[in-house]
């Protein structure tokens, strides 16, 4: 029989003792000292679950409203506000659905409400309908012209500037001031009524601008237009990669 201490080097034996002591101490704490329920997440969750369950339900969801407000429900479903839930505007209405005569949801009739979503803000997605609340038909309630459950412009706007104010204002002080929007965009009538489903055309080719700017351009508006050699100028790129069409500028 080999003698134990001879097989294992002295230093290793000492280290092993220390390590085993540490492991044993750790195991003792984890397995024995900490009571079993403490290691169970259910214990940690139990209070949370109770607390959450005890909270009153405040929102009913918009499908409930159809029972009693069927007309509004159907109307909203087809309009631009179809993605908004009723309670986004009317606030939590669970209590109202249970006792409609006693509890009434808020009606956000004041003018300050709609601009929360519709006031001009550069961080809103492109094409999101926005207005400047200070100049957009001031003093009157929004609902007096737009039905909040089926919002659309009450009358068909005559000018593009009603909705494209920024472009119109830019163009008005540019070299293209004399050009109507429709010179470059073909606008179907429907665009002014449902702008997002019917879109106007946009120029596609270099030749389009060439109508007035090519060396041999003959358009009646082309008289005063400065000329460039279409085959060379700007290489293969379309013109509006370098010139903003609504405010073309040339730095000399």
Partner 1 sequence: MNHDLMRQLAEILPRIQGFIYPNEIEIHWGMLIVVYPYITGVVAGAFILASLVKVFNVKEVQPLYRLSLLTALAYLLVAPMALVSHLGHPERFYEILLTPNTSSAMAMFGFVYAWYLMAVLLLEIWFVHRMDMIALAEQHRGAMRFVYRALSLYSRDTSERAVAFDHSALKVITIVGIPSAFLLHGYVGFIFGSVKANPWWSSVLIPIVFLFSAIVSGIALVILLYMIINPLAGGKINMKCVDKAVDFLFYAVIVDFSLEMVDFIHRVYQSEEEIKILSEMVMNKLFLSLVVIQVLLGMLLPLTLISITKIFRKRFGASEDLRKMVYFLSVLLIQFGIFATRWNVVIGGQMFSKSFRGLTTYKMEFGGLEGLLYALGLLILPLVILTVLLKILPPWKEMKELRGGAAGGGLETAGS
Q: How far is the CB of 18 from partner 1 (least distance, A)?
A: 6
Instruction: Say whether residue 78 binds ligand HEC (CB under 6 A).
Output: no
Q: Which does 10 bind (CB under 5 to 8 A by kind): ligand HEC, partner 1, none?
A: partner 1
- 89 neighbors 151 (Cβ within 8 angstroms): no
Is residue 10 a contact point for partner 1 (CB under 8 A)?
Answer: yes
Query: Are 222 and 212 spatial neighbours (Cβ–Cβ below 8 Å)?
Result: yes
Binding status of residue 15 toward partner 1 by CB under 8 A: yes
* Residue located via tokens 């038909």: 137
The three-class DSSP label of residue 189 is helix
By beta-carbon proximity to ligand HEC, the closer residue of 121 and 144 is 144
19 vs 63 by CB, closer to partner 1:
19
Residue 145 is a binding residue for ligand HEC (CB under 6 A) = yes
Closest alpha carbon to 202 in 191, 215, 217, 213? 191
C-beta of residue 146 within 8 angstroms of C-beta of residue 181: no
Residue choice 95, 120, 150, 183 for contact with ligand HEC (CB under 6 A): 183
Options 1, 4, 7, 18; binder of partner 1; rule CB under 8 A: 18
Please, is 227 exposed, middle or buried when counting C-beta atoms within 10 Å of its C-beta (0-12, 13-18, 19+)?
middle
Residue 49 CB partners (closer than 8 Å, separation 6+)? none
Shortest Å, Cβ 49 to ligand HEC: 26
Identify the residue among 12, 32, 57, 134 touching partner 1 (CB under 8 A): 12
What is the Cα 8 distance to its own chain's centre?
70
Per-residue contact string for residues 35-74; x = within reach of partner 1 by CB under 8 A: ---xx-----------------------------------
Q: Which stretch binds partner 1 (CB under 8 A): 10-18, 107-115, 205-213, 236-244?
A: 10-18
Specify the length of the chain in residues.
252
* Interface with partner 1 in residues 114-173 (CB under 8 A): 121-123
Neighbours of 234 (CB within 10 A): 15
């Amino acid at each position: 029989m080999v003698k134990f201490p001879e097989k294992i080097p002295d230093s290793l034996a000492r280290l092993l003792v220390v390590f085993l002591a540490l492991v044993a101490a750790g195991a003792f704490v984890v397995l024995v000292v900490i009571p079993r329920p403490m290691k169970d997440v259910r214990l940690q969750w139990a209070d949370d679950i109770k607390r959450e369950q005890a909270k009153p339900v405040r929102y009913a969801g918009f499908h409930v409203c159809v029972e009693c407000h069927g007309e509004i429900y159907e109307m909203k479903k087809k309009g631009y506000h179809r993605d908004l839930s009723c309670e986004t505007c009317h606030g939590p209405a669970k209590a109202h659905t249970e006792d409609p005569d006693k509890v009434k949801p808020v009606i956000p009739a004041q003018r300050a409400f709609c601009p929360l979503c519709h006031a001009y803000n550069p961080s809103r997605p492109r094409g999101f309908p926005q207005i400047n609340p200070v100049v957009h038909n001031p003093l009157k309630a929004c609902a007096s012209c737009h039905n909040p459950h089926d919002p659309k412009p009450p009358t068909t706007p005559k000018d593009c500037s009603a909705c494209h104010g920024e472009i119109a204002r830019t163009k008005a002080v540019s070299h293209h001031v004399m050009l109507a929007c429709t010179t470059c965009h073909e606008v179907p009538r429907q665009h002014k009524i449902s702008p997002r489903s019917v879109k106007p055309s946009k120029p596609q080719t270099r030749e389009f601008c060439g109508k007035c700017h090519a060396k041999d351009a003959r358009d009646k508006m082309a008289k005063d237009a400065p000329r460039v050699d279409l085959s060379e100028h700007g290489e293969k790129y379309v013109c509006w990669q370098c010139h903003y069409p609504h405010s073309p500028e040339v730095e000399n």
